[in-house]
Amino acid sequence: MKKILCIGAGYVGGPTMAVIADKCPQYTVTVVDINEKRIAAWNSDDLPIYEPGLDEVVKRCRGKNLFYSTDVAKGIKEADIIFVSVNTPTKTFGAGAGRAADLQYLEKTARSIIEHADSDKIVVEKSTLPVRTAQAMSRILHSNTRGLKFQIISNPEFLAEGTAINDLMDPDRVLIGGLETEEGKKAINEIVEIYANWVPRERIITTNLWSSELTKLVSNALLAQRVSSVNSISALCEKTEANINEVTAAAGRDTRIGAKFLKASIGFGGSCFKKDILNLVYLCGYYGLPEVAEYWEQVIKMNEFQSRRFVGNMLAAMFNTVADKKIAILGFAFKADTGDTRESPAISVCRQLLEERARLRIHDPKALENAQLDLEDAAGDITYCEDPYEAVKGAHAIAVMTDWKCFKELDFKRIYESMEKPAFLFDGRNLLDVDEMYGIGFNVYPIGKKAKTHF
């Protein structure tokens, strides 16, 4: 039985390894992490991340061919193939701070691999990394004094949170990059063999290492660029009485453009988009391409503009002051179906509102704990509400931050009645029906569409 190890039991490593174990009973899959609490949670009924469908897959395989452990050394010793999916956040210090990737966790992982390995291994980069990281990884691994050989493979993860299990079970493509040497090709094939257990061959793409590393950054940059492009046009729609939904629906019908990822919003969040673009910006700067760096940086600037603009619209609508007003924040996760709040636009919106001295009542079906951590250092009046009806009671306004389907099912008549009047509804996700909400009595402010007010 071949042994697969995954170092890092987070949003990427956790679901990915569960699906590999599920689809490949002939492999033993072990996931290790230095975080004991996280591993204990993976071994419990209360998994550390919320992801639709994940529980079932883990239950099917755990204890059979899927194991979670903190014993990194043993895991490394026994493994034939090691997936590395440790965190690679944006650097907050020193050279490249705010842009470059912080590779300290990756380097520590490489060092623990050479400390504990006693045979040759294939090491697979799963974490998102700057291009040429595989070279650094290879140099560290080959600094071992025991003559051990490591093949580095890049196999970026394209799963999106909230749909991770489906994305893994039925991916558009699987990308596997390796060196163009005989050993490199052999290693690529070993990884192809894993995915070929359930992914049609034509969807498994093999490339050189550097193309694979860069593709991950480029895919996320292009997706984020689409969101920023649409959000920039939403601002223009609000000024011109064009309707962003009509514009994107019509533009998206052009098959060259396509219908997906054209939803206007308060902005993109998540652990990848901003980080990967910053990474791209840093790389372009490093390689002497300042114009290219600036081009991509604009995608992030537009994203920041969108949440500032949203708060600006709130203020303008509410007679230029929200001081001492209760505002119900519906949703805090960066998108629906996840409890993840990393880079969520809700963080920036809430902080701006707190600066304006608003009193916040925050509700999210899955992300309240993370919201509390994100706003731990923020001064002001914040209450975290398990019950959405409690959050809106006596509020002057509602701000919808996340596209949770369950918000659509709320009783908005009851909500309207329990609020201060005039009642404002700022829909940062265009989730709710404008006419219906207006009919109930709300003054409705969607994104990229004309506001509908009773004034």
Residue 220 C-beta-side C-alpha neighbours within 13 Å: 28
**DSSP label of 131:** T
Contact present, 27 and 64 (Cβ < 8 Å): no
365 preceded by a cis bond (ω within 30 of 0): no
Please report, for residues 37, 308, 314, 452, the alpha-carbon distance to residue 424 in angstroms, rounded to integers and kept in the order given. Answer: 42, 18, 9, 10
- Quick one: residue 241, left, alpha or beta (phi over 0 = left, psi -120 to 50 = alpha)? left
Task: Enter the tokens of residue 375.
Answer: 């706003």
Q: Applying CB under 6 A, does 83 fall inside the site for ligand UDX?
A: no
Please report, for residues 133, 151, 187, 241, 255, the alpha-carbon distance to residue 139 in angstroms, rounded to integers and kept in the order given. Answer: 10, 11, 18, 58, 45
334 binds, among ligand UDX, ligand ADP, none (CB under 5 to 8 A by kind): ligand UDX
Separation between Cα atoms, residue 184 and residue 122, nearest integer Å: 10
Query: Coil, helix or strand for 248?
Result: helix
Site for ligand UDX in 379-438 (CB under 6 A): none
The residue type found at 148 is L
Q: Going residue by residue from 328 to 357, which x/- string records binding to ligand UDX, judged by CB under 6 A?
A: ------xx----------------------
220 binds, among ligand ADP, ligand UDX, none (CB under 5 to 8 A by kind): ligand UDX
The residue type found at 29 is V
Q: How many residues bind ligand ADP (CB under 6 A)?
A: 21
Q: Applying CB under 6 A, does 105 fall inside the site for ligand ADP?
A: yes
As beta bridge partners, residue 67 has: 30
Choice from 43, 87, 138, 206 touching ligand ADP (CB under 6 A): 87
306 binds, among ligand UDX, ligand ADP, none (CB under 5 to 8 A by kind): none
Please confirm, yes or no, whether 272 is among the known catalytic residues.
Answer: yes
User: Strand 359-363 and strand 326-330: pairing?
Assistant: parallel
Residues 6+ apart with CB under 8 A from 295: none
Q: Which of 6, 237, 272, 350 is catalytic?
A: 272
Q: Applying CB under 6 A, does 16 fall inside the site for ligand UDX?
A: no
User: From the CB of 95, what's the least distance to ligand UDX, in Å?
Assistant: 26
Q: Applying CB under 6 A, does 168 fall inside the site for ligand ADP?
A: no
Separation between Cα atoms, residue 455 and residue 447, nearest integer Å: 19
User: From the CB of 177, what's the least distance to ligand ADP, in Å?
Assistant: 18
- Could you tell me which stretch among 29-37, 229-237, 370-378, 446-454 binds ligand ADP (CB under 6 A)? 29-37
Q: Applying CB under 6 A, does 14 fall inside the site for ligand UDX?
A: no
Choice from 154, 265, 279, 341 touching ligand UDX (CB under 6 A): 265
Residue 82 or 385: the one with the smaller Cβ distance to ligand ADP is: 82
User: From the CB of 343, what's the least distance to ligand UDX, in Å?
Assistant: 8
243 binds, among ligand ADP, ligand UDX, none (CB under 5 to 8 A by kind): none
86 binds, among ligand ADP, ligand UDX, none (CB under 5 to 8 A by kind): ligand ADP
Number of CB atoms found within 10 A of residue 259's CB: 12
Tell me the H-state helices in 330-406: 345-355, 368-374, 388-392
Contact present, 101 and 213 (Cβ < 8 Å): no
- Could you tell me which stretch among 102-110, 172-180, 224-232, 416-424 binds ligand ADP (CB under 6 A)? 102-110
Separation between Cα atoms, residue 167 and residue 176, nearest integer Å: 16
87 binds, among ligand ADP, ligand UDX, none (CB under 5 to 8 A by kind): ligand ADP
Contact present, 352 and 308 (Cβ < 8 Å): yes
Query: Coil, helix or strand for 398?
Result: strand
User: From the CB of 5, what's the least distance to ligand UDX, in Å?
Assistant: 21
108 binds, among ligand UDX, ligand ADP, none (CB under 5 to 8 A by kind): ligand ADP
Residues 6+ apart with CB under 8 A from 133: 101, 103, 106, 125, 213
As beta bridge partners, residue 6 has: 31, 83
**Nearest residue relative to ligand ADP (C-beta):** 10
Q: Applying CB under 6 A, does 127 fall inside the site for ligand ADP?
A: yes
7 binds, among ligand UDX, ligand ADP, none (CB under 5 to 8 A by kind): ligand ADP
Q: Applying CB under 6 A, does 11 fall inside the site for ligand ADP?
A: yes
Q: Going residue by residue from 268 to 307, which x/- string records binding to ligand ADP, judged by CB under 6 A?
A: ---x------------------------------------
User: From the CB of 315, what's the least distance to ligand ADP, in Å?
Assistant: 34
Residue ranges binding ligand ADP (CB under 6 A): 7-13, 32-35, 38, 72, 85-87, 105, 108-109, 127, 271
Residue ranges binding ligand UDX (CB under 6 A): 157-161, 220, 223, 227, 261-263, 265, 268-270, 272-273, 334-335
Active site residues: 272
